[in-house]
Structure 1
Amino acid sequence: MHARKPQAASIFAPKTPAPANPIPSSSPAFGTPAHSLKPFAVAPPTKATILPILLPPATLRPLAFRTFTKKHSLTLTSSALQELATFIGRHCGSGWREEGLAEKVLEEVAKSWKNRNGGVIVDGASAELKDILKTLEGNMSGGRVATGRELNRQNSLVLDSSQEADLSNTRLGLRPTKTLLRDDSNTSFGMSGLGVQEEEPEDEGLSHPRKWLKVISAYDQPRLLYNVTKKHFEKDPSKPSLMPPASHKTTLFRNRYNVVHQRLLRNESFQSSSVTTTKAAPSLKRSASSNLTAQQTYKITPISNLLGRHGSHHMLLGLLSVLPTGNLGINDLTGTISLDLSHAVAIPEDSAWFTPGMIVLVDGVYEEEEESTGKGLGNSNGVGGIIGGRFQGFFIGQPPCEKRKATLGVSGPDDHTIGGGFGWIDFLGVGSERAVGPKMRKLERRIVRQPRRSQPSTLDPDAQVPSCARVVVIGELNLDQPRALQALRKILTVYSTEPEGSTPMSFVLVGNFTQHAVMAGGGASGGSVEYKEYFDALASVLADFPTILQSATFAFVPGDNDGWASSFGGGAAVPLPRKPVPDLFTSRVRRAFATANAELSAAAAAKVGGGGEAVWTSNPARLSVFGPAHEIVVFRDDMSARLRRTAVRLKTSRPDAEEENQENEPPTATASNGGDDDIDMANALDSTDAMDVDTLKPSAAAEPVVPHDVRSARKLVKTVLDQGYLCPFRHAIRPTHWDHATALHLYPLPTAIVLADPTAPPFCVTYEGCHVMNPGAVLVAGRRGVGRWIEYELGKTGRIRECLF
């Protein structure tokens, strides 16, 4: 059989001549054409002027290698690279790099080549590549590939109504019912099929925010490692295991250090100018004017470079650890040195915790001991071993975090993408920011509308119809306490009385689901029977609210007392991330959801985004709403109490610092009248104006004296976000699974974090654009009959709510 020749793309097919226009000419005497107006014809879009440039192939080579080789496993020949460089220089002009035009062109060429089965090697002399570039040239306007609405406008003359419906479903992520009448090489012009139309979605079920909600387990996230050589994130090629080789533990710490180090070098305070020189040694302590000048940039010194530089001033970035001798030490990728913090002051003062296991910045002087001179240096050679002497630290601080927009390369009021950052990296497996981010935000603005004012009520005359794009977080729900189930019933009653269609899209129930580790108990059942009965009681409470079960997604995040981990942990800290509660104990809860959804009609299901569901996820877990537009991290841990137990005590000038009652493992510092510094490396971040606090008493934040609860909340939030890691402790204190530790990274910063910590006061704090919430326990300590939870509206701030039961 002869190979069938592919048909010409329908968008380039010759158009059928229009029928005779029955409307006569308005002025035949002046020779006005009789068919000057074509009511149903669409004029082609005006092409923007592009100034061609000569783009050398060597300049395009790194970008082409990342797109063709790393992403699509294709090999480019020198002739193909020359063809692509000539094409991009002629059609994209000078904006090929800054505006990201070349990346989109290379992406479309690679996809079209793979759709045509062109092979692994892309040859510039092949007719397939020339045909792809010729086809692509006709679909470019202003240096950009015509996607989404432009393609729909061009296809409107040649596609019938059914084909247009299939095209709409394809852009919404649905599978078309039949193949479109165009060549396979043109299917990639829709940019991965994730484009979003400007019109309303035809499927009513897709117009609800819950349809764009995805609960991502820590074991389902992509495992990414930072490549220092390529300055890029790559997928870990090894197969994950709960018992990996010891080398994977080294990889865990190296990856943590590399991510923080590259983030630090992107900060303006660590970017030295090539035209100015630093007259004095830079320090974390700023001048009295607190103005950052070109001379006040910081430079990080590797530990191995301290050899032979006695009395010199340096700044170190390394992992705070405890040496075998019991003293504090700091180590990086080049070596380890003993650390003396007896005279160190935190910058800013009392703004963050410092515990062994954290990556910190230390500013001080290297002191070489006499007995270690010569003999001690010969043992280590400054690489990989312990450096002789000690490092006298004077200032210690957290590495400043980076905003989410800066990491992903998003800028402007409309969140337009720019050239920098890691916008093409898919950190969660829901699509990258550069690929689907702007389209998802457009879809969000179209679906999530402003709340409408409701009818006046006796409780609140100015009440508004609440938005359905809300997440309700209920923390520390001990099912073995009857009062906790009463509080849950009251909370669900509050939301069941809301107007129809305004039910929150998700309820997050956080453990521990039992007050004690009942799975570690003795007896024939080992506590498993009692553990299942607690969830059966939860199912009976949920079954009384079928309307909520039909229109919301319930996510259950376990704690350390939940099965199966508590059966061998006994309620102690178990390795993170930990797996969800087994299905063996939750069958009655799933049955309650199935019963509620069975009573839901098809029309009602489309209106609420489909039937409700119960998702038993890991700890930590992530909620992705509208792809990369919103990322919510949910983490259950007694982090505040663990920080107080293991933190290093530093000098302070505040008389009330003793209230923290810190316990330190290494030797601690003594009290002193240190200076009151307002210094920070994250562009002079101050604990007062760098955070926005929303608590039960907002007026307290305006008082001159910051309340203790607010100060402790800011301290906890700054520590976690600056570390960019959910478990900044030693493995002996809080173990982690080495192969799944990438799920604990907070890079890029999520849009919101739920730190379910009953040992800390409830709070809602915004720091560097990331909104952090702590619901505490559902039962308020010291107040009988009071339930507490947090209500978070998508893209806004959380609100602490209480009820009486």
Structure 2
Amino acid sequence: MQSTLAVGNDANAIPSSSPAFGTPAHPIRPIVPATITATNSSKPVVLPVLIPATSLRPIAFRTFTKKHSLTLTSSALQALATFVGKNCGAKWREEGLAEKVLEEVARSWKKSRGSGIVDGADQELVDILRGIELSMVGGKIVAATSGRRTAPTLVREDSVNAGQMETLSVSTPQSMDVQQETEDICQDPRKFLKVVSLFDQPRLFYDPNRRHFEKVSKSPSLLPDPSQKTKIFRDRYHLVQQRILRNESFQAPTIKRGAAAVNGHASLSRTESSFTQQNAYTLTPIANLLGRSGSNHVLLGLLTTLPTGQLAISDLTGSIVLDLSNAVPVPKGGSWFVPGMIVIVEGSYHEEDSMDGLRLGGGGGVGGTIGGKFAAASIGGPPSERREVSLGITDHKKNDQSTGGGFGWVDFFGVGSEKSFGSKMRTTESHVWRVGSADSKRSKMVCIGELNLDNEQTLGALKRILSLYAAAPVEDMPMAFILVGNFVTNATMAGGRAGGSIEYKECFDLLASILSDYPTLLQAATFVFVPGDNDPWPSAFSSGATTAIPRRPIPELFTSRIKRAFATANTDTDRVPCTELNGEAVWASNPTRLSLFGPVNEMVIFRDDMSSRLRRNSIALTAEDESDEIGEGEMDMEHLQEKDLTSQTLTASRKLVKTILDQGHLCPFPMSIRPILWDWASSLNLYPLPTAMLLIDPEAPAFAVTYEGCQVMNPGRLLAEGRRGIARWMEYDARTKKGLVREELMH
């Protein structure tokens, strides 16, 4: 948005001598007689700004059209943009002031007129805006005009002396706004559910100089500058480095310890999910290894493969050959290690003069591979950081913000920052969950993975699941169904049964006919469709191989019948009055994010064959003992319904979850293994950690694991492998933040 100070239209207004300081349009105010005083004389001043109508359009569409079913004309949108810029100032977006104003305008319009079209030339809109302006203080509405809230009371204080004038003061209850919003809250939590495409997510990067997140100023492109490729890994390194330096194990203690503790050697070991603080660890830049042969160090860098085939570790200062022949993973059997991951390595440096191997050259040490090698004694992933720590929140009830460098003011996903909206949204969340019964399922989300529409058994399993939920009372139906591809067995337009676009569209037409048999579900739930690698259009040239991520939603060419099914269900005259919201179909990107109650709950949905890719490209460590498992204190495993769950399956699930969340990235691989779109790489970061994550991997067993407060779930395949006639899916409870693998026998 281009913030420009508004200029008054009054011809007698004195122009500002310093526009950069934002002098108000009318700097000279009429003189108030000394005999008249007001208790609100310290009214905060709002500096007006010029807001383009296009910048206000998304908020206006969400408030007027989707929430109140009103249509805005272009003149009305321009009038609202001018009003918000004048009365809310520069913080109209950051503090949510514009949304509150538009909400009040929409309510007043429906109460006074009731017509569905809001016209800027209508005198009624002018009167509504004039009334709201009189009730605003400092950009906020302190007294509503629609009559839905308690009106302000004028308290008249009679003067003691006859010569003194009367004093008028406005008093409003402090809990008035919260109480009214609580009364107006829709019991359907879908009102606060938002699907965020990774292409619409704000593109942020961590600035190590300012120690804060900054927005990328350049517009994204599919063909960016080649320097953007190296910037991807540099940004990842800065993000992980700042996270590690805030970890207590890497901070020097302020209290002196004994001589034995200070001089003792610190080794990497873990208790639960973080390094034990036997001593404060110090990260050494690779360039600083020169001239320090035989000394022990801890390195943080990117695991890479040199053109010679040797493993190396690289940071922003240089690279060095890595010897992992005696390295012990920390913890044993706890993580995968693949080139492209950022790792912490402890060991000793040996210069090339004391080596019998080849000279690697490049003795300068800056920007290239330095001579010598680094013999690693232990290797591990960077320790994860809980979501509360990243956002700087120590007490949700008091909305207490710590001063330890949390990023509570950063709007990571375009739904508002934690500091601005977290407290309010938590109050709303507690009320919504309190309104329903204790066993209400409106807090449930159903995820179905690997939905092959060209398989008759898959369609039969889908019908069984939908009929199970459709038979429940309307108030107990899930609020969302997440249907994840691949939606066809073979890549579209790459041969096979789904050989072309016509056959692919027929599969979705068949899905539309199945969904039409359950109109109550279409009326009361949100259906989210996430594509896989076999879905168009990337499959047209990849033939089902790995495609670049993030990837666009399924094209509208194939979704017309499903949209028509939802429109028919929502206009059905016999529909039950379960909610004021209509059901909808959302075609999401892969990956995608779901926001529930703003920044309070965030779910990441990602369809990828992650486990098989890790097994194919992982580094085999000779000192690794696969029989050792992760400590029980690190993760909580939600018990599956399978009675024959083996320890090997349990270990594999935990290993997969720990690897991804420790890396804090959805794609910790080189570009040759898993390509990504360079300008959207920042949207793949898992920072801060989400509240929940759906990692749909058909090659991995179904599981639900909690790690560092993040619930990671995998529904697996819809048709359980090796178990004929069994349909399997995931059910996630947004209230308890727990997932459950469910199974049902198909008839």
- The alignment status of 1:695 with 2:643, answered yes or no, reads no
1:771 and 2:711 matched: yes
Deviation of 1:250 (Å)? 1.1
What is the Cα deviation at residue 586 of structure 1? 1.1
Aligned runs of 1:291-370 on 2, under 5 Å? 292=276, 296-370=279-353
SS at 1:800 equivalent = strand
C-alpha separation between the residues in 2 aligned to 1:508 and 1:325? 45
Give the AA of the match of 1:731.
Answer: M
Report whether the alignment pairs 1:804 with 2:740: no
Give the Cα–Cα distance (whole angstroms) in 2 for the partners of residues 608 and 652 of structure 1: 59
Q: 347-356 or 274-283: which moved more?
A: 274-283
CA contact (8 A) 1:779 1:788 kept: yes
SS of corresponding position for 2:488 = coil
Moved more, 766-775 or 364-373: 364-373
Match of 1:547 in 2: 520
Who is 1:104 aligned against? none
Deviation at 1:333, TM superposition (A): 0.6
Partner of 2:589: 618
1:495-644 → structure 2 map (5 Å cutoff): 495-521=469-495, 527-599=500-572, 604=577, 607-644=578-615
Whichever residue aligns with residue 622 of structure 1, its letter is: R
Residues 124-143 of structure 1 mapped to structure 2, 5 A cutoff: none
**1:419 Cα deviation after fit:** 3.8
- In the other structure, the counterpart of 2:47 is 113
Q: What is the identity, as a one-letter code, of the residue corresponding to 1:549?
A: L
- Aligned partner of residue 475 in structure 2, secondary structure: coil
Q: CA deviation at 1:633?
A: 0.4
How many angstroms apart in 2 are the aligned matches of 1:450 and 1:690?
A: 35
Q: Which of the numbers 268, 279, 284 marks the counterpart of 1:284?
A: 268
Q: What is aligned with 1:186?
A: 137
| Displacement after TM superposition at 1:242 (Å) | 1.1
Q: Is 1:409 aligned with 2:350?
A: no
Aligned to 1:448: 433
Which of 453, 457, 473 is residue 483 of structure 1 equivalent to? 457
Q: SS of the counterpart of 1:199?
A: helix
CA distance, structure 2, for counterparts of residue 648 and residue 211 of structure 1:
46
Offset of residue 259 of structure 1: 0.4
Q: For residue 532 of structure 1, give the secondary structure of its aligned residue in structure 2.
A: helix
Distance in 2 between residues matched to 1:443 and 1:522, nearest whole Å: 50
8 Å CA contact retained: 1:437, 1:628? yes
Residue 411 of structure 1 deviates from its aligned partner by: 1.4
The letter for the 2-side match of 1:283 is: S
Secondary structure in 1 matching 2:137: helix
Structure 2: how far apart are the matches of 1:619 and 1:181?
A: 42
Q: How far, CA to CA, are the matches of 1:236 and 1:512 in structure 2?
A: 33
Deviation of 1:202 (Å): 8.2
**SS state of the match for residue 516, structure 1?**
coil
- TM-superposed deviation, 1:241: 0.8
Query: What TM-score comes out, normalization by structure 2 length?
Result: 0.76
Structure 1 residues 768 and 600, CA, compared in 2 at 3 Å: closer, same or farther?
farther
Structure 1 residue 369 displacement after superposition: 1.4
Number of residue pairs matched? 614
**Matches of 1:199 and 1:319 in 2, distance apart?**
52
In structure 1, distance between residues paired with 2:388 and 2:311 = 36
Determine if contact 2:135/2:141 at 8 Å carries over to the other structure: no
Partner SS for 1:317: strand
The secondary structure found in structure 2 opposite 1:206 is coil
**Could you say what secondary structure the match of 1:379 adopts?**
coil
Which has the larger displacement, 547-556 or 195-204? Answer: 195-204
The residue identity in structure 2 corresponding to 1:368 is E
Once the 2 structures are TM-superposed, how far is the Cα of residue 560 of structure 1 from its aligned partner? Answer: 0.4
Indicate if the aligned counterparts of 2:301 and 2:313 stay in contact, CA closer than 8 A.
Answer: yes
Q: Which amino acid aligns with 1:443?
A: T
User: How far apart, CA to CA, are the structure 1 residues paired with 2:584 and 2:656?
Assistant: 33
- Percent sequence identity is 48
Alignment correspondent of 1:649:
620
1:468 maps to 2:439 = no
Which residue type is aligned with residue 535 of structure 1? F
Q: CA 1:766 to 1:286, structure 2 compared with 1: closer, same or farther past 3 Å?
A: closer
Aligned in 2, Cα 1:803/1:434: closer, same or farther, shift over 3 Å?
A: same
C-alpha deviation, 1:436, in angstroms:
0.4
1:218 matched to 2:191: no
Q: Residues 369, 184 of structure 1: CA spacing in aligned structure 2 closer, same or farther, 3 A cutoff? A: farther
Say whether residues 1:270 and 2:250 are aligned partners: yes
- 1:188 shift after superposition: 2.5
Contact 2:349 2:373 (8 Å CA) reproduced: yes
Alpha-carbon distance change, 713 to 280 in structure 1, aligned in 2, over 3 angstroms: same
Residue 81 of structure 1: aligned partner? none
Distance in 1 separating the partners of 2:189 and 2:540: 38
1:799 and 1:651 mapped to 2: Cα distance?
Answer: 36
| CA deviation string 1:541-589 (max 9, x = no partner) | 1010000001111000000000000000110010010111111011111
Alignment map for 1:188-207 (pairs within 5 Å): 188-189=139-140, 197-199=177-179, 201=181, 206-207=186-187
Spell out, residue by residue over 1:419-472, the C-alpha distance to the aligned partner (whole angstroms, 9 max, x if none). 43000000010100000011001011111227537xxxxxxxxxx4x3212111
For the pair 1:425 / 2:423, whether they are aligned, the reply is no
**Aligned letter for 1:198?**
V
Name the counterpart of 1:140.
Answer: none
Does structure 1 conserve the Cα–Cα contact (< 8 Å) formed by 2:394 and 2:402?
no
Q: For each residue in 1:655-700, what CA deviation from the matched residue of structure 2 results, as whole angstroms up to 9, or x when unmatched?
A: x55xxxxxxxxxxxxxxxxxx8x9xxxxxxx531121111325998
Corresponding position of 1:87: none
1:245–1:530 distance in 2 versus 1, CA, 3 Å: same
1:244 aligns with 2:229: no
**Per-residue CA distance 1:191-235 (angstroms, 9 max, x = gap):** 9x9x99432548867332001110011101000011110000010
Secondary structure of 2:659's aligned partner: helix
**Contact 1:322–1:328 (Cα < 8 Å) also in 2:** yes
RMSD of aligned residue pairs (Cα, Å):
3.7
d(CA) in 1 for partners of 2:133 and 2:402?
A: 33
2:669 aligned counterpart, secondary structure = coil
234 and 487 in structure 1: CA distance in 2 versus 1, 3 angstrom threshold: same
One-letter code aligned to 2:570: N
CA distance in 2, matches of 1:738, 1:291: 33
Q: Residue in 2 aligned with 1:728? A: 668
Contact 1:551 1:609 in 2 (8 A): no
Q: For residue 115 of structure 1, report the CA deviation from its aligned partner.
A: 5.4
Query: Which of residues 366, 369, 389 in structure 2 aligns to 1:386?
Result: 369
Once the 2 structures are TM-superposed, how far is the Cα of residue 2 of structure 1 from its aligned partner? 8.7
In 2, Cα distance between equivalents of 1:775 and 1:542: 21
Q: Matches of 1:188 and 1:275 in 2, distance apart?
A: 48
* SS state at 2:352 partner: coil
Tell me which residue corresponds to 1:737. Answer: 677
TM-score if structure 1 supplies the norm length? 0.71
2:515 partner amino acid? L
Query: 2:695: which partner in 1?
Result: 755
CA contact 1:147–1:189 (8 Å) conserved in 2: no
Q: Which runs of 5+ in 2 are unaligned?
A: 1-7, 14-18, 24-42, 52-86, 89-94, 102-106, 113-124, 145-174
CA–CA distance in 2 between the matches of 1:314 and 1:767?
29
Structure 2 distance, partners of 1:362, 1:177, is: 65
Cα distance change on mapping 1:281 and 1:481 into 2, 3 Å: same
Aligned-partner Cα distance in 2 for 1:789–1:717: 19
Displacement, 1:741? 0.9
Spell out, residue by residue over 1:93-139, the C-alpha distance to the aligned partner (whole angstroms, 9 max, x if none): xxxxxxxxxxxxxxx97x8223599xxxxxxxxxxxxxxxxx99xxx
